[in-house]
Amino acid sequence: MSQMKRNPLVLGNKTLKDVTDDICAPLERFPSKGWMGLFLAAKTLFLFYIATIAIVIATGIGLLGVNHPVAWGTMIITFVFWIGIGHAGTLISAILFLFRQRWRTSVARTAEAMTVFAVMTAGIFPLIHTGRPWLDFWLFPYPNQRGPLWVNFRSPLLWDVFAVSTYATVSTVFWFVGLIPDFATIKDRATNKIRRTIYGALSLGWRGTAKNWSHYEMVYLILAGLSTPLVLSVHTIVSFDFAVSNLPGWHATIFPPYFVAGAIFSGFAMVITLFTLVRIGWPEFKNYVTLDHMEVMNKIIMMTGLMVGYAYGSEFLIAWYSGNDYERYVFMNRAMGPYAWSYWIMICCNVVIPQLFWFKKFRRSIPVMFVVSIFVNIGMWFERFVITVTSLHRDFLPSNWGQYAWSIYDTCILVGSFGMFLTIFLLYLRVFPAISIAEIKPVLHVGKDEEGGH
């Protein structure tokens, strides 16, 4: 029985030298007008973001829509959104590495970078949400001079501090370790003394010896093993912010797996968004990030979208089955109350639109996947909005009901956060190799001269 021949992971009959030249090219040539235009736009948005945060902190958190009864607003919504974005990077780089999925080699580096930048962006929001960011060091448990005043170790908000800081640390180290051999390559190619010194320092004395490679592979495997449980634990703990409360609509045991599936869903959508743009801005990368890579990620988006859709349906079933009138009311209010528009935006973006990926033609169409990935991330932001606002705005007492007082500052901080993320991401594309040279070369001829499944 003959086996199907796999498609090549790298197109264009590249040689080893071509791989190095192509991946180093964006770092060594003068930035294009397109990159400059995007960077200036992102930086302007980032500066606007900083100014908005400064105004909110100087004046007070009351400038945002948080009020009674909706005490958790866009700061928490957007925090959960950005933490979710960061999940695809660790999944692609660590879990697929452990399962020896060779298609990950072209996309892992940039997905890891996206994780680090998304967690950096997310980390700012809880600090603003406290209202007194100059006292945020009180969140960290350390021996102090404040007498018996310690953090509440039973609070899921403190668990967040541990989970997110651990995730950020391990993801950053994992990303940096993978970059070390490539930094040495760039250092060796550098013609400028300053450039050679900087990349030489970043490469930590890498010489490419057998001993170097042995240590590198061992450390990379250990870090992949450490990162894997973090994919599950971080968003599980973020979901506990809601799930351990007694509030109807939040008090649900389905939240941990539901949040993790949603995080992978939105994370992969952001990877698709960024890679469609990278393929347009850097045409040489089309040979490395092929339509086959994009299609595999679209299949994962479709699968996690179905899981999220199942969770939406099961929430209604359990609310009905529970016999709890308050629980039933919260879910009926989500679908038919004053915020029904946000619920149906979430359903359309997260459940209906990704079904396009059942068709191979759409899974392999760059314009279609780009539009779907944008809708998915809009839907996932609204998912967090629905969970947070619609569960809070109508309490047990009708006299306590109210709406979320959305303000222009909520909008400015939400939009500005994308300015921060894109500024860092564009700088990364300019100064770091966006694809792993060391990992692409071993898979250069996969599919050209061997047979087997993907």
Q: Which residue has the higher pLDDT, 25 or 453?
A: 25
Residue 7 has pLDDT above 80, yes or no: no
Query: Residue 226: CB partners within 8 Å, gap ≥ 6?
Result: 170, 174
In the chain, what percentage of residues exceed pLDDT 90?
A: 37
Instruction: Identify the pLDDT of residue 447.
Output: 58
Confidence tier at 454 by pLDDT (50, 70, 90): very low
65-96: per-residue pLDDT in tens?
888 888 888 999 999 999 989 887 888 888 88
Q: What is the secondary structure of 323-359 as a DSSP string?
A: --HHHHHHHHHHHHSTTHHHHHHHHIIIIIGGGGGGS
In the chain the first and final C-alpha atoms are separated, in Å, by: 17
Residue 317 and residue 73: Cα distance in Å, rounded? 27
Please say if the pLDDT value at position 392 is more than 80.
Answer: yes
Tell me which residue of 296, 226, 235 sits closest to 261, measured CA to CA. Answer: 235
Residue 353 tokens, joined: 């639109």
pLDDT on residue 290: 84
**pLDDT band of 4, cuts 50, 70, 90:** low
CATH: 3.20.20.150, 1.10.287.40, 1.20.1630.10, 3.40.50.720. Which one for 16-443?
1.20.1630.10
Q: How far apart are CA 97 and CA 220, in angstroms?
A: 10
Average pLDDT over residues 363-383: 93
pLDDT mean across residues, the chain: 87
The letter for the amino acid at 353 is: I
Tokens standing for residue 391: 């569960």
| 20 pLDDT more than 90 | no
Residue 450 — very low, low, confident or very high, per pLDDT cuts 50/70/90? very low
pLDDT value for 119 = 92
pLDDT at position 451: 41
| DSSP codes of every residue in 8-38 | PSS-S---HHHHHHHHHHHHHSPPPHHHHHH
* pTM for this entry: 0.91
pLDDT tens for 421-431 read: 999 999 998 88
- How far, in Å, are 81, 130, 237, 266, 407 from residue 413 at the CA level? 13, 15, 24, 20, 10
Position 1 pLDDT exceeds 60: no
pLDDT tens track for 117-166: 999 999 999 988 888 888 888 888 888 787 778 888 888 888 888 988 99
- Domain residue spans in the chain? 16-443
